[in-house]
Amino acid sequence: MVHQKEEEEGEIVEEDEGQANSAKEETGSRVNLKLSAQAAGQSFNATFPGWQCLHNYSHYRLGRIWVCWSESVDVVPVLVSSQMITCLVRFKESNDIFLASFVYASNFMVERRELWREMKMVSRQVASGPNPWILQGDFNVTLSAMEHSRFLNTAGESAYVI
């Protein structure tokens, strides 16, 4: 098994993951792509012509969050941070509007506290209006140990999930 090391921006690193357990990982490896903001923009434009993209490179050097949309919607950024992008979304055809927050929380509890402060601020100042608020993403926190991806590995061989 090959472990990934810190990569330079724009470098593609392949990791050997050994025997795959699902059809999704049938090749036994995966490619981890980390791009600079400029390389990411070029790659996006080549892959999704006519689409637009909002990312958080200005707040996190590897741009962990990308919000992408087609020409059928208008997107207006409300808040962009290292852990969350919040925007107003309007469907052009129906004129329906909603608030959307896309989250990729830090692995560190201390840093996640800033995310919770941001969510409270959005809740009070923006989401309290007439439009629905969709909050989605990876919060990197679990309610119980059983929800963690490594639960069976850390709980011992006799552990099982009901």
Residue 62 has pLDDT above 90, yes or no: no
Other Cβ atoms closer than 10 A to 103: 21
By C-alpha distance, which of 111, 102, 114, 112 is closest to 77? 102
pTM for the model: 0.64
For the four alpha carbons of 16, 66, 9 and 114, in that order, the dihedral sign comes to: negative
pLDDT at 28: 32
Residue 59 has pLDDT above 90, yes or no: no
Q: What percent of the chain has pLDDT over 90?
A: 35
Q: What angle do CA 72, 76, 81 make, to 5 degrees?
A: 130
Q: Which domains does the chain have, with CATH numbers?
A: 51-155 (3.60.10.10)
- pLDDT tens-digit map of 63-109: 688 898 999 999 999 999 999 999 999 999 999 999 999 999 998 88
Annotate 44-88 with DSSP letters as a single string.
HHHHSTT-EEEE-TTTSTT---EEEE-TTEEEEEEEE-SSEEEEE
Residue 15 has pLDDT above 60, yes or no: no
